[in-house]
Amino acid sequence: MMLIKGIGGAYNTTLAQIALGAAIGGGAGNLYDRWRFGAIQDFMDLKFTVFNIADVAIIFGVSMTILRSLVQ
């Protein structure tokens, strides 16, 4: 929460805070995997891609931030 307040009000809506939290949380999850296992653990294997929940969180957070900036 202090990080959000320290940005100067740029993340003053609930959706923006969720987007920032998702992006930071996804990055932290990938860093933990890299530290703990030496590689990022992918566990969703679709026919066209392989990814993990941390990747989904990062994409969600960045996408919401971009959409928010386009709408304003």
Give catalytic status of residue 45 as yes or no: no
Active-site hit among 5, 7, 42, 66: 42
Where would I find the beta strands (DSSP E) of 2-58?
A: 44-45, 50-51
Active-site hit among 21, 33, 41, 55: 55
Give catalytic status of residue 42 as yes or no: yes
Helix (H, G, I), strand (E, B) or coil at 52: coil
**Could you give the CA distance from residue 58 to residue 72 in angstroms, rounded to a whole number?**
21
**Could you give the CA distance from residue 56 to residue 64 in angstroms, rounded to a whole number?**
12
Question: Could you list the active site residues?
Answer: 42, 55
